C-alpha cells in the first residue's frame, strides 16, 4: 500500500463504521430492508437467523469474483477492504448495541441517513462496499443496460422480497430509507449544495465585475454570449459565492444595473481558492 493511500483507507473505515451503525441501530432491528446486499441480508437474517454481516460477506464474495473475472481489477483492494470491514463492523456492533427505537418511521429516517452518509464517505475516499455496485455493473455488462437502471432493478427486487417476507408497510418504509440513503450519498459526494453560481447578463459587466472583486473578494469570469432575439453580442458574467453572500451580490448588481438579468442556482461542489481545497 502506498503511503499516500493511508488517508483513503482511514476514510473508508470511518464510512463503513457509520454505515454499520445505521444498519445495527435502526434498519436491521426494525426489519427495514432498504435495498442492496444489506437489505437482502436483513431478509435472510429474519428467515434463517443468519448473521447480517456474515451474510453480506457471503453474498458479496461471488459478486466480487464475477466482477474480477468480467471487469478485471478495476475495483481493486479498496472494494475488497470496504466489503470485509463493513461485514466485520456489522456483526461486532450487533453483539454490543441495541436499537434505540422500535418506531419504523424513525428507524427508516435515521437508518437511511446514517447509511447514506457512511456510504458517501466511502465513495468519497475512492472505496466501495461491493454488492449493489458490482451487481449493477454486471447487469450492464451482460444485459447491456445502464448502471443506474441496474441499481434500480436490484433495489426493487430486494424491497419486493422484503414486502413478501415481512409486510407491505415495512417495504414502504424500506423504500423511504432507500431514497434518504441515495440523497445522503449525493450530499456527501457533491458537497451538500453550500455554494451558489450566478449568471449575470448586463450592459455593465465591467463595473459589476470590478465591484464583485472589490466588495465580495470573489472572482468573475466573462463568457461570450449572443441574444438570439436582438442578435447582439454581449458578455455574461459567471460568479460563484457562498450562500451567505447571495444577498450582497444581488444588491450590488441591482445598484449598478437595475435592468440586469440574473440567474442564481445551487452548486453542489466548488473546488479551488476561496472554497474547498483539492484533496491530494
Predicted confidence at residue 3, as pLDDT, reads: 61
**Domain stops at, among 190, 209, 240:** 190
**Domain stops at, among 160, 190, 220:** 190
Nearest to 36 by CA among 104, 90, 92, 94: 90
Predicted confidence at residue 199, as pLDDT, reads: 95
Integer-rounded Cα radius of gyration of the chain: 24
Predicted confidence at residue 123, as pLDDT, reads: 83
The Cβ-side half-sphere exposure at 226, using a 13 Å CA radius, reads 4
Q: What is the CATH number of the domain that holds 247?
A: 3.30.70.120
Give the cell for residue 110.
435515521
Together in a domain, 85 and 201: no
Together in a domain, 120 and 13: yes
Together in a domain, 67 and 13: yes
Predicted confidence at residue 195, as pLDDT, reads: 81
**Domain stops at, among 164, 190, 216:** 190
State how far the alpha carbon of 161 is from the alpha carbons of 27, 32, 155, 174, in Å.
16, 11, 10, 11
Q: How far apart are CA 206 and CA 70, in angstroms?
A: 56
Task: Provide the domain limits for residue 65.
Answer: 3-190
> With helix as H, strand as E and coil as C, how does 235-269 read?
EEEEEEEEHHHHHHHHHHHHHHCCCCEEEEEEECC
Contact 12, 118 (CB under 8 A): no
Nearest to 187 by CA among 264, 256, 116: 116
Q: Which phi and psi (to 5°) does residue 142 adopt?
A: -90, -40
Contact 221, 237 (CB under 8 A): yes
Neighbours of 255 (CB within 10 A): 10
**Euclidean distance between the first and the last CA atom of the chain, given in angstroms as a whole number:** 16
What is this structure's pTM?
Answer: 0.76
Contact 153, 139 (CB under 8 A): yes
Together in a domain, 58 and 34: yes
Q: In angstroms, how far is CA 203 from the centroid of its own chain?
A: 40
Predicted confidence at residue 168, as pLDDT, reads: 95
Together in a domain, 174 and 206: no
**Residue 239 is assigned to a structural domain of this protein:** yes
Category of 31 on φ-ψ map: left (φ > 0), alpha (ψ -120 to 50) or beta? left
Together in a domain, 93 and 202: no
Predicted confidence at residue 103, as pLDDT, reads: 97
Predicted confidence at residue 33, as pLDDT, reads: 95
Report the SS3 class of residue 43: helix
- Give the number of domains in the chain: 2
Together in a domain, 96 and 199: no
**Residue 180 is assigned to a structural domain of this protein:** yes
Predicted confidence at residue 242, as pLDDT, reads: 82
**Residue 20 is assigned to a structural domain of this protein:** yes
Average pLDDT, consecutive stretches of 10 residues, N- to C-terminus, the chain (280 residues): 76 96 97 92 96 94 78 70 94 96 97 93 83 68 63 84 94 94 81 79 93 90 86 89 85 93 84 62
Predicted confidence at residue 277, as pLDDT, reads: 61
Amino acid at each position: 500500500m502506498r503511503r499516500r493511500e493511508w488517508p483513503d483507507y482511514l476514510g473508508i473505515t470511518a464510512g463503513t463504521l457509520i454505515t454499520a451503525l445505521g444498519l445495527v441501530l435502526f434498519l436491521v432491528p426494525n426489519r427495514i430492508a432498504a435495498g442492496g446486499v444489506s437489505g437482502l441480508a436483513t431478509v435472510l437474517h429474519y428467515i434463517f437467523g443468519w448473521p447480517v454481516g456474515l451474510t453480506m460477506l457471503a453474498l458479496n464474495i461471488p459478486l466480487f469474483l464475477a466482477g474480477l473475472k468480467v471487469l478485471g481489477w478495476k475495483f481493486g483492494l479498496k472494494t475488497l477492504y470496504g466489503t470485509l470491514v463493513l461485514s466485520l463492523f456489522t456483526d461486532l456492533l450487533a453483539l454490543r448495541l441495541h436499537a434505540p427505537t422500535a418506531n419504523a418511521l424513525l428507524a427508516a429516517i435515521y437508518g437511511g441517513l446514517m447509511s447514506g452518509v457512511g456510504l458517501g464517505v466511502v465513495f468519497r475516499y475512492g472505496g466501495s462496499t461491493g454488492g449493489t455496485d458490482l451487481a449493477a455493473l454486471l447487469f450492464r455488462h451482460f444485459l447491456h443496460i445502464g448502471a443506474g437502471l441496474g441499481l434500480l432493478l436490484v433495489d426493487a427486487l430486494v424491497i419486493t422480497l422484503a414486502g413478501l417476507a415481512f409486510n407491505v408497510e415495512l417495504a414502504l418504509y424500506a423504500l423511504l430509507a432507500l431514497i434518504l440513503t441515495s440523497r445522503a450519498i449525493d450530499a456527501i459526494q457533491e458537497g451538500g449544495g453550500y455554494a451558489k453560481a450566478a449568471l449575470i447578463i448586463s450592459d455593465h459587466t465591467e463595473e459589476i465585475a470590478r465591484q464583485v472583486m472589490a466588495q465580495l473578494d470573489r472572482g468573475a469570469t466573462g463568457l461570450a454570449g449572443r441574444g438570439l432575439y436582438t442578435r447582439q453580442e454581449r458578455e455574461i458574467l459567471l460568479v460563484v459565492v457562498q450562500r451567505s453572500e447571495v444577498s450582497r451580490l444581488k444588491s450590488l448588481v441591482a445598484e449598478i444595473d437595475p435592468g440586469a438579468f440574473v440567474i442564481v442556482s445551487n452548486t453542489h461542489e466548488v473546488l479551488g481558492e476561496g472554497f474547498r481545497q483539492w484533496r491530494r
